[in-house]
Structure 1
Amino acid sequence: MTTLGWEGWARDIAAIAAAHVTRIRGLLAQTRSAPARQFEVFLADLRGTLNDSITADEAIDTLAQHLVTRPVFEALFDGYDLVATNPVAAAMERMLATLDEHGPAAENETLESFYAAVRRRVRGVDNAEGRQRILVELYDQFFSVAFRRVADRLGIVYTPIEIVDFILRSADAVLRREFGQGLTDEGVHILDGFAGTGTFLVRLLQSGLIRPADLARKYARELHGNEILLLAHHIAGVNIQTTYTDLTGQPEHFPGLVLTDTFQPWHQSWQPGRLPSPPITVIVGNPPYSVGQASANDNNANERYPDLDEEIRRTYADRSTATNKNSLYNSYIRAIRWASLRIGDRGVIAFVTPNGLLDGNSTDGLRKSLADEFATIHVFDLGGDQKGDWRREGGKIFGAGSQVGICVIVLVRDRTRVPPASVHYGRVGDYLGREAKLARVAAAEDILTVASTAIVPNSQGDWLNQRSDTFLAYLALGDGGIFERHGRGYETGRDVWVYGSSAAGLRRVMRRATETYAGVLDGHATNDESLIKWTVTLQSLAKRRVPLPYDERPPVQATYRPFCPQWMYADRNWS
């Protein structure tokens, strides 16, 4: 894919899209102009067709993003009369036509050689899978490079086609084994709660898992998708509709796609005509992976979901023995909890997720809950964790999009069966590169045919690397054991700033930080981590305009973690 230069193209997009936003805002500022009047119509169409919470800023950003991607979009969907059958496409086209009439921007001309290469590539695609690969590669680069903050906040990672197809085949096979039904059968509703550009539903239509005689019914009533990003939602709708048109010759608008934050309305009544009211039998997809911003400097915090997070607290968190449970509010774990609530008494969940849930103390409560809530659990571990033995773990399934290991997990809910669940674990193999792993996934028929081992979880919720109960008989070091008092030492939110091996070096760092903080109080805001490390506490002090002058007292000696003597800057406001 490097021949198309996706990465170079994506790096150019951020600046070009920003220029489009500026141009559009300038046109809309003239409130009586044709663009301003057409924008009001456009925004009303979006709200009436998709979601009445769409803001003007979201609509403007989407227009700018679509202006940059439009040549690729037109190449991919050339020959389809989308305006006649797709209301969002029609509204978008009317708005873009008005913008084009009023000072068309020249920014895209710098990318014309790239667009020409894409057109040549698209003309050479002679199968449905090829078009999906281009879409996945395009929007993966689009969001992860050009709009990195959006990708990080929402945990956007687009799924390789091999993984998509494997999940769909596995959902069908498991559904047939457990309930004697397939994805094609009437009454089997299928939901992708994180639809992206629609790859899962498109590949399902193309897979042959749905019989030709069932396609019309499935498409009209039993396929559902949610997507939070307006541009991705638009692409998904067109992608699914054109696929159905290819298969049936009928250019029917796809009614099952909803612009919504899947985590937000999980507890509410489903609105007729918007969100699926029938019970969902199968949930498939690639949930977002995002535990939150890495630093307060990012100013890019995730959404909070009090109701859903309370469900996690009373289940996965309450049953965990971990001290720090923050990782349980990662978006992919929220997705598992949401799907567990949404699936009802009978059905299948098939996700590709980080494999951290399979082992470790922080997710022991999650594993205990899954074993109690589901009848059967199938896991296909694809490895790729870069924090451990990375050579053995092998290639990263999502490339640069993820540093964690990945697995496919299929959960079977059947309330008539007594817990705990039977757990089956298979692994793709060690020391394999990404392409070799994807080849093995593509060659596997489904998760039932993968060589696996039956696991009997122990009382601590261990699946892999089960601990020995022998250790429970040993005398503890703390908590009433050998040592009466113990601790982890003086902990801070910026250890690399307030601790140092050199007292002189520590003084230089903290002088710079306190000078930067003083500048912020004088109106010179910055998120530069080379100058200051923000935490919630420090931001609160700055908001209240509390001065923090440099402490001239010499640094003190402290024991760090807990056996390494270091110098420490002893102002607790910087802890």
Structure 2
Amino acid sequence: YTEDLFCNEIMLLPYYIASLNIEHAYYERMGEYEPFPGICFVDTLELAERVSSNGGTVVTQPRLYFVEENTQRVLREKEADIMVIIGNPPYNVGQKRENENNKNRPYQLLDQRIRDTYVRDSQATNRSMLYDAYVRFFRWASDRLRGRDGIVCFVSNNSFIDHFAFDGMRHHLLQDFIHIYHLDLHGNVRRNPRLSGTTHNVFGIQVGVGITLAIRAAHQQERRLAYYRIPEDWRKEEKLNFLREKRSMGQIPWQRLEPATPRRWLELAPAPEWRSFLPLGTKESKRAATSAEDSDHLTIFAAYSLGVQTGRNVWVYDFDRSRLTSKVQQMIDVYNSDLARWRRANRPADLDRFVSADETKIKWSSRLKEYFLRQVEARFQANSIRRALYRPFTSMYLYFDPLLNQRQGLWPRLLPTPASEEENRLICVPGPGNRKPFGCLAANHITDFDLAFEKIQCFPFYVYADDGSRQENITDGALALFQRHYGPQVSKWDLFHYVYAILHHPAYRERYAEQLKHELPRIPLLKRNEAFWAAVSLGRQLLDLHIHYERLDPYPLREIEDERFSYRANRRIERLRLSPDRRTIQVSSGLTLADVPEDCFRYVLGGRSALEWVLEQYQLRRDPHSGIVLDPNRPDDPDYIVRLLKQVVTVSLQTLTLMEELEQAITPEDWQAACPSA
């Protein structure tokens, strides 16, 4: 019995083609034509059934689906004992841009099932991805078996395998099925920018793809979770050839996974000492710090914050202050004009269709529409323009405003004024669920949510009150612990620098790589006093190096000028090109920087080197939606970009030297538990 369950098109042509394909396949095998009466013209997700309190399903009569004959087919499908569900469900978590006014349709019963299972048992904060279309199909298919033995096989987005937001989904899949096999075909361009969707992805898309086979068999007692990953750098053709050669799952050399927790399938067995280290921060201590409550959780930092999420980067970031002012004022004018027009129209309910959708004039977000519905008018304020660290070693102006920023986090308390940037320092690390290699970076400016890693979390030395007074953010309990081990002379700044050093230690990053993907860092004590003070000294040097990178001596890259093009007469830069051998940088037609040291590319932040971050950011970029051009050239300092490139080479090489000194001064044998009872 074969049935197409994924005909979600609103057009009839794909429906007819699917039916013809089934009938033709039957004709080729059987030598005779037979009409196929099973295909249904219906949105499969609308067929979700209510799950009763005892886990059973309640089948309801369908409404009229298109025509009576099709309705009868749908009814037969709902009454059928389906035991095999195969498909390639769509991958779409929702509209990518608020201006599109094209939100995914809700599915009341199915979305409630997701809330009752995948969402309820997720430890993630942002769980919107659990309503992606392919996740809905996993939930629907698991329920559609109605407790019977059966098989679900999907070709889908494979983010659910290791992304933090899907921990609840992974937990329930292992409850719903006895055997799960996942063939990882990779191809996630967003996670690995060195890949190309058209070259490395089997479907030519940007998200990773995988094949999941989930089996439910009541007679089986032994549960099994198996995984195989095709080499990530294989081209599309190599991956497809692999599938042709293997032909069946029995030919795949599966790796059996035995995760310590059903929430983290790919995590290796945790290092036993990890839990005894001191947490950098916890949700409990953060909640207490932001509500003036006492906390009995021993952590290093009391408060911390996500990086700023603007929802409209090209509108509220710019290299030039006057250009930023101009475009923010334009957007405010359009917003206020729409608000006045909406009031005159008696505030129609369908806001999405009412407001201006032209993204060359305004960029909407859900938060901005919330302010709109509350009838909050926008006002431009020049003192809201602040310096920000947009990407590693990439400083820009930011219009820092609660109405035009999607989420500001705790930044009004971390760096409330430009003056606070002179005295405060922050350590920025990836948040839980990060899939990129671990790294960290110090900052003294507001930092962007996507600084280099995923969901960046920032730990400040100071936190400020509304009256401008400051308080040290390192807890007294942490300081007391370190003073007991290393003497009363240990200060909170020493502890701050010590943390920054440990987070740069190569052995620390390697040994705890899996833990650092799923949770915030934990910091060990050191057995030897001299090792501790060496870490303090090296951490201070690393922090000063990364904060004051613009003060460093430029690395002496060799400048090659082409006399046919006068670079000195016009030092404007439009595009920076790194040669394939990564030895030269073409700045313009008239200037090339040569002898780039190979070692500088070893200083990596979020999957790419510091130099590559700067090469990407410091060139002309035009946003395809708004038409806004970001121009990094500085008319008042035309040599800035070339000088910055040389300074970042210096930063990279000196960072590597300090990290090597860390390895020599501190060995893993020096690490010891900070909380022995943990």
8 Å Cα contact 2:160/2:166 also seen in 1? yes
Percent identical residues: 30
CA displacement 1:307-342 (0-9 Å, x = unmatched): 212211222222222111111111111111111001
Any idea what SS the aligned residue of 2:150 has?
A: strand
**1:538 aligned to 368, 371, 378, which one?**
368
Any idea what SS the aligned residue of 2:90 has?
A: coil
**2:152 aligned to 349, 370, 374, which one?**
349
Query: Against the structure 1 CA distance between its residues 552 and 324, is the aligned structure 2 distance closer, same or farther, given a 3 Å change threshold?
Result: closer
Within the alignment, does 1:237 sit opposite 2:19 as a pair? yes
**Deviation of residue 533 (structure 1)?**
0.7
Query: Against the structure 1 CA distance between its residues 243 and 270, is the aligned structure 2 distance closer, same or farther, given a 3 Å change threshold?
Result: farther
Query: Against the structure 1 CA distance between its residues 467 and 386, is the aligned structure 2 distance closer, same or farther, given a 3 Å change threshold?
Result: farther
1:347 alignment partner AA: G
Structure 1, unaligned stretches of length 5 or more? 1-188, 196-225
CA distance in structure 2 between the aligned counterparts of 1:370 and 1:256, rounded to whole angstroms: 28
Counterparts in 2 of 1:67-146, with a 5 A limit?
A: none
Structure 2, unaligned stretches of length 5 or more? 50-58, 63-71, 286-298, 343-353, 406-678
8 Å Cα contact 1:379/1:424 also seen in 2? yes
**Deviation of residue 247 (structure 1)?**
4.3
**1:431 aligned to 222, 233, 239, which one?**
233
Query: Against the structure 1 CA distance between its residues 561 and 472, is the aligned structure 2 distance closer, same or farther, given a 3 Å change threshold?
Result: farther
Query: Against the structure 1 CA distance between its residues 270 and 191, is the aligned structure 2 distance closer, same or farther, given a 3 Å change threshold?
Result: farther
**2:164 aligned to 361, 369, 374, which one?**
361
Structure 1 or 2, whichever has the larger Rg, is 2
**Deviation of residue 397 (structure 1)?**
3.9
1:332 alignment partner AA: Y
1:338 alignment partner AA: W
CA distance in structure 2 between the aligned counterparts of 1:342 and 1:370, rounded to whole angstroms: 14
Instruction: Tell me what 1:333 maps to.
Output: 135
**Deviation of residue 380 (structure 1)?**
1.4
Comparing both structures, which one devotes a greater share of its residues to helix?
1
Instruction: Tell me what 1:461 maps to.
Output: 263
Instruction: Tell me what 1:503 maps to.
Output: 321
Instruction: Tell me what 1:484 maps to.
Output: 302
Instruction: Tell me what 1:517 maps to.
Output: 335
Counterparts in 2 of 1:146-165, with a 5 A limit?
A: none
CA distance in structure 1 between the aligned counterparts of 2:307 and 2:195, rounded to whole angstroms: 35
**Deviation of residue 405 (structure 1)?**
1.3
CA displacement 1:81-104 (0-9 Å, x = unmatched): xxxxxxxxxxxxxxxxxxxxxxxx
Higher mean C-alpha displacement, 468-477 vs 370-379: 468-477
**1:527 aligned to 357, 372, 385, which one?**
357
Query: Against the structure 1 CA distance between its residues 393 and 467, is the aligned structure 2 distance closer, same or farther, given a 3 Å change threshold?
Result: farther
8 Å Cα contact 2:228/2:253 also seen in 1? yes
CA displacement 1:61-81 (0-9 Å, x = unmatched): xxxxxxxxxxxxxxxxxxxxx
**Deviation of residue 490 (structure 1)?**
5.0
CA RMSD of aligned residues (A): 3.1
Instruction: Tell me what 2:377 maps to.
Output: 548
Instruction: Tell me what 2:186 maps to.
Output: 383
CA displacement 1:257-298 (0-9 Å, x = unmatched): 111111112114366542422211100010111010111111
Query: Against the structure 1 CA distance between its residues 243 and 324, is the aligned structure 2 distance closer, same or farther, given a 3 Å change threshold?
Result: same
Query: Against the structure 1 CA distance between its residues 346 and 549, is the aligned structure 2 distance closer, same or farther, given a 3 Å change threshold?
Result: closer
CA distance in structure 2 between the aligned counterparts of 1:361 and 1:335, rounded to whole angstroms: 19
Comparing both structures, which one devotes a greater share of its residues to strand?
2
**Deviation of residue 444 (structure 1)?**
1.1
Instruction: Tell me what 2:5 maps to.
Output: 193
Query: Against the structure 1 CA distance between its residues 358 and 558, is the aligned structure 2 distance closer, same or farther, given a 3 Å change threshold?
Result: same
**Deviation of residue 350 (structure 1)?**
0.9
Instruction: Tell me what 1:269 maps to.
Output: 60
**Deviation of residue 374 (structure 1)?**
0.8
CA distance in structure 2 between the aligned counterparts of 1:556 and 1:372, rounded to whole angstroms: 51
Give the number of equivalent residue pairs. Answer: 354
Query: Against the structure 1 CA distance between its residues 241 and 311, is the aligned structure 2 distance closer, same or farther, given a 3 Å change threshold?
Result: same
Counterparts in 2 of 1:289-300, with a 5 A limit?
A: 289-300=91-102
Any idea what SS the aligned residue of 1:527 has?
A: coil
Instruction: Tell me what 1:471 maps to.
Output: 274
CA displacement 1:172-224 (0-9 Å, x = unmatched): xxxxxxxxxxxxxxxxx4444214xxxxxxxxxxxxxxxxxxxxxxxxxxxxx
CA distance in structure 2 between the aligned counterparts of 1:548 and 1:349, rounded to whole angstroms: 51
**Deviation of residue 255 (structure 1)?**
0.8
Give the alignment's TM-score, normalised by structure 1: 0.56
2:119 alignment partner AA: A
Within the alignment, does 1:572 sit opposite 2:363 as a pair? no
CA distance in structure 2 between the aligned counterparts of 1:248 and 1:477, rounded to whole angstroms: 66
Instruction: Tell me what 1:373 maps to.
Output: 176
Give the alignment's TM-score, normalised by structure 2: 0.48
